[in-house]
Amino acid sequence: ALSRYKNKDLSIFKVSRLPTVMDAVYYICWDGSGSMYGAKQSESAYACAVIEEAIRGIYPLKIINFSTHGDVVHYVVKDFDDKTKKNCAYSFGATRSFGGGNKDGFSIRQCTEELIKRKETNKFLIVLSDGAPSDYNSHEEAVADVKSAVAFARQNKIDVTSIFFGTQRERDAEIDLYNEMYGAGHIISCEPSAIVNHMVQIVKKNILKR
């Protein structure tokens, strides 16, 4: 799963002088809608796979892939207590064709409800998405619902970060919506090929906060 990592340098995951591990849990809420098909799907799957390997045996991690096919559908890519030795994100991304719409606010709320029940002190939710939620009646409704869901998560002391990816043109067209939904300073906007590097930096930064 790590064979494509461009720098071939796994020292990015090493943090010196940390005698104890931070009490933390990670949740990745991963867009599986039709607009993710192609490079966005493969690059985001690869990024999830790298993080899965990086924190395996250190922090609990759950990954869901969300879309809508009439109703909201959540595929559990990897559960918190999954002990398999295979890389779940890599396998999922390589075998499933993404499709349908997305209703991000609904999915963020479900992730939040699960994280609230966890006993860890530090709770991190990373939302991977390539554009404004599509399964709403309007952009205004989508923005309001996601904004409300993110506020609910933060009220419950969950650190929420959005990684918003696509071409520069796609991101320029929707960056204002993302700023409204997640708040300035909580968004990473990048090309699909850069997702993995940003996710690695998120994990490193969180570890160093302790």
Distance CA 194, CA 1 (A): 17
Residues 20, 75 contacting (CB under 8 angstroms)? no
User: What is the per-residue pLDDT for 85?
Assistant: 86
Distance CA 58, CA 61 (A): 9
* Mean pLDDT for all residues in the chain: 89
Residue with the bigger pLDDT between 48 and 19: it is 48
Alpha-helical regions (H) of 55-138? 88-95, 104-116
In the predicted structure, residue 1 carries a pLDDT above the cut 50: no
In the predicted structure, residue 25 carries a pLDDT above the cut 70: yes
Q: Residue 107: which of 139, 68, 62 has the closest Cα?
A: 68
Query: Which pLDDT tens digit goes with each residue over 174-202?
Result: 999 999 999 988 999 999 999 999 999 98
Q: Could you tell me the pLDDT band of residue 16, with boundaries at 50, 70 and 90?
A: low
Q: Residue 126: which of 77, 187, 172, 81 has the closest Cα?
A: 187
Find the range with the poorest average confidence among 105-109, 111-115, 186-190, 206-210: 206-210
pTM of the full predicted structure? 0.88
Distance CA 59, CA 64 (A): 16
- What mean pLDDT comes out for the span 120-148? 93
In the predicted structure, residue 67 carries a pLDDT above the cut 80: yes
